[in-house]
Amino acid sequence: MRIALVRTGQEDAVVWRDASGRCRRVPTGASGEAICEIDTGEHQADTGAGQFEGYSDREASEQKILRDVFRPGDAWYRSGDLMRQDELGYFYFVDRLGDTFRWKGENVSTSEVATTLQGCGHVAQAVVYGVQVPGHEGRAGMAAMVVAAGFSLSAFQQQLAAALPTYAQPVFIRLVPELELTGTFKLNKQHLSAEGYDPTQLSDPMFILEPATRRYLPLDAERYRALLAGTLRV
């Protein structure tokens, strides 16, 4: 099986391409997304290209395939794994693509934060992802949560303050009735990240962490405008 490591945005999962539209391999020792060549029927058997049968969801299958990667007509399967390769050709796992983001100069693990959230009282499900905030570098943490009766936002924040450093505490909270799954039965955090946190576009209750008091306040249209204008900092 032919494997290549290509440059990929760790936060937005977009594969980088050069001016000619071709993907870029990472240098030895650097991390990149591992992709595997798919046999499209145009290669000889000894090229090492493999078969990809796909998922039951055709759209999900197509999202996992990169085309015209290094030459016209080729196809490669996206593993979603960040890996690196040493000088001897050995591959090493680094992280799952999209499972970390950088905020306040620190790397935040979405899976670790989500596990912490689900350990808080009355939180049934949680997914964590990074969102861009105008005027701020990196991505701020946002959590979409399904909560049960008896959930208390103030008690929740106290539990987070005791369990997570300030940079890892979600800046935005969105309470949803359920969490959407992808065609491969994973939580669809990319869709949630793309939806953002505009209260005029989303009907779910949302909250923003006020930095001075470290309390979650309702994210209404006024606070959203202040955030965009830069008068509300996070």
Residue where a domain terminates, one of 96, 131, 162: 96
pLDDT for 76 equals 94
**For residue 172, is it within any domain?**
yes
CA distance 110 to 114: 6
**For residue 214, is it within any domain?**
yes
Q: What is the chain's pLDDT, residue by residue, as a tens digit (234 residues)?
A: 789 999 887 556 788 899 999 999 999 988 889 999 998 765 444 444 445 555 555 665 677 899 999 999 999 999 988 888 999 999 998 777 778 888 998 878 888 899 999 999 999 999 999 999 999 988 999 999 999 999 999 999 999 999 999 999 999 999 999 998 766 566 778 789 889 999 999 999 999 999 889 999 999 999 999 999 999 989
**Which domain does 24 fall in, by range?**
3-96
Nearest CA to 91 among 1, 184, 186?
A: 1
User: Based on the domain organization, do 39 and 154 belong to the same domain?
Assistant: no
- Joined together, the tokens standing for residue 67 give 């085309």
Residue where a domain terminates, one of 96, 111, 143: 96
Total domains, the chain? 2
* DSSP count for the chain of H helices, then E strands: 5, 12
User: Based on the domain organization, do 91 and 108 belong to the same domain?
Assistant: no
| CATH number for the domain harbouring residue 149 | 3.30.300.30
| CATH number for the domain harbouring residue 73 | 2.30.38.10
Would you list the DSSP string of 167-180? GGS-SEEEE-SS--
User: Based on the domain organization, do 124 and 188 belong to the same domain?
Assistant: yes
User: Based on the domain organization, do 45 and 112 belong to the same domain?
Assistant: no
**For residue 234, is it within any domain?**
no
**For residue 24, is it within any domain?**
yes
User: Based on the domain organization, do 134 and 212 belong to the same domain?
Assistant: yes
Q: b vs e for 16-55, b when ≥16 Cβ sit within 10 Å of the residue's Cβ?
A: eeeeeebbbbbeeeebbbbbbbbbeeeeeeeeebeebeeb
Residue where a domain terminates, one of 69, 96, 123: 96
Length reported for the chain: 234
**For residue 32, is it within any domain?**
yes
- Residue 178: Cβ-neighbour burial (10 angstroms; 0-12, 13-18, 19+): exposed
